[in-house]
Amino acid sequence: MVAVLVGQISALIRESRFRGRLPTLSKQVYLFERQFFLKVMNLKGTVVYDSIHGNTKQIAEAIAEQLRSDAVDVELFSVKERKNPSGDFLFLGSPTRGSRPTKSSVQFLESLDRSYWSSHPVVLFDTVGPFSKDETKREKWLEVAEKGTKNAAAKLQQLCNECGIRSYPKVLHSAVTGFFGPLAPDATQRAKEFAQQFLESTRTKV
């Protein structure tokens, strides 16, 4: 039913009477279609994090903020609260400590109901650094992190695979520019864009 309704909205773009306004109209219809889809799907998600100096918490909050702005019902909490997550998906984040996630985040992941999370995506994110304050250099270092395994998100993703938990293929690395922070200036915006990309991948599977 949802796919049919969304398809009907998309078909408006192709109607000849709109061709003169296509660039503007197609964007408007896309945004409307996206919001319509998310509201109809009534998605629910959980964002969980561990944080030492507050940087990973800020990323988790940015992700939750973006998801909520896209009409997703979101619960946000720390791994230390020891709650049982539920919903259509789970975001789990940890700072990178000695090339690994924190013990608390690992324990949280290992405590998940594997029968449930084997069919619901777990999205991993982390904070890494200290990285350069120079944007160009920082981007290069983030590219290295994305290809490597010596970071919290990659280790958590590996653990998901070992436990039979369904992990989202992409992970999010957020740069900090000092040993204790702060986050890079663009880190929270990148986190929001990553959350949007995840939702878009969910949308295209309907």
Write down the pLDDT at residue 16. Answer: 45
- Establish whether the linkage from the previous residue to 85 is cis, with ω within 30° of 0: no
Both tokens assigned to 63: 């992700």
Amino acid at 89: F
Write down the pLDDT at residue 34. Answer: 56
Write down the pLDDT at residue 202. Answer: 85
Span 102-113, pLDDT tens digits:
999 999 999 999
Write down the pLDDT at residue 103. Answer: 97
Write down the pLDDT at residue 203. Answer: 73
Q: To which H or E segment does residue 124 belong?
A: strand 122-128
Write down the pLDDT at residue 42. Answer: 87
Write down the pLDDT at residue 21. Answer: 52
Give me the residue spans of the domains in the chain: 2-38, 43-203
Backbone phi, then psi, for 18, in 5-degree steps? Answer: -100, 0
Phi-psi region at 47: left, alpha or beta (left = phi > 0; alpha = psi -120 to 50): beta
Number of H helices and E strands in the chain, helices first, is 8, 5
* pTM for this predicted structure: 0.82
CA–CA gap between residue 66 and residue 20 (Å, rounded): 33
CATH architecture for residues 43-203: 3-Layer(aba) Sandwich (3.40)
76 by DSSP, 3-state: which?
A: strand
Positions of the chain with pLDDT under 70: 1-41, 204-206
